Amino acid sequence: MSADATDAELDAADAEVDAEEFPAPPRTFTDDEGRVLRLCAGGESAESGEESAESDGKSADSDVQSVESDGESASESASDAPASDARDALGAMYDAFESGGRAQGIPPANPRRRAEWLDRLHEGIGVVAWHGDGAVGHGILLDGGPGHELALFVHPEYRGAGVGTALLRTLLGRGRSAGVERVWLSVERTNRPAVGLYRGAGFEPTGGAVGELEMARSLQ
Domains of the chain listed by start with CATH number:
22-218 (3.40.630.30)
Residue 185 pairs in a beta bridge with 215
Q: Return the percentage of the chain with pLDDT > 90, whole number.
A: 47
Across residues 114-128, what is the average pLDDT?
A: 87
Distance between CA atoms of 27 and 40, rounded to whole angstroms? 7
Question: pLDDT value at position 46?
Answer: 60
What pLDDT, in 10s, does the model give residues 161-174? 999 999 999 999 99
What pLDDT, in 10s, does the model give residues 3-42? 444 444 433 333 444 556 899 999 999 999 999 999 999 8
Question: pLDDT value at position 12?
Answer: 39
Mean pLDDT over the full length of the chain: 76
Identify the DSSP state of 106.
B
| 99 confidence band (pLDDT: 50, 70, 90) | low
Are the C-beta atoms of 180 and 151 separated by less than 8 Å?
A: no
Question: pLDDT value at position 170?
Answer: 97
pLDDT at residue 75 greater than cutoff 70: no
**Which among 172, 207, 201, 166 is positioned nearest to 189, based on CA atoms?**
207
Distance between CA atoms of 207 and 217, rounded to whole angstroms? 13
**CB-based burial, 43-60: b 16+ in 10 Å, e otherwise:** bbbbebbbbebebeeeeb
- The count of other CB atoms within 10 Å of the CB of residue 108 is 16
Q: Report which of residues 150 and 63 the model is more confident about.
A: 150
pLDDT at residue 116 greater than cutoff 70: yes
- Least confident residue range of 77-91, 146-160, 176-190: 77-91
Q: How many CA atoms lie within 13 A of 219 on its CB side?
A: 27
pLDDT at residue 198 greater than cutoff 70: yes
Which pTM was predicted?
0.74
H or E element that contains 212: strand 212-218
One-letter identity of residue 51: E
Distance between CA atoms of 84 and 121, rounded to whole angstroms? 11
Question: pLDDT value at position 211?
Answer: 86
pLDDT at residue 212 greater than cutoff 60: yes
H or E element that contains 163: helix 163-177
As to burial, measured by CB atoms within 10 angstroms (0-12 exposed, 13-18 middle, 19+ buried), residue 125 is buried
Gyration radius (Cα) of the chain, Å: 17
SS3 176: helix
Distance between CA atoms of 122 and 138, rounded to whole angstroms? 13
pLDDT at residue 181 greater than cutoff 90: yes
Question: pLDDT value at position 47?
Answer: 61
Question: pLDDT value at position 97?
Answer: 79
Distance between CA atoms of 54 and 111, rounded to whole angstroms? 39
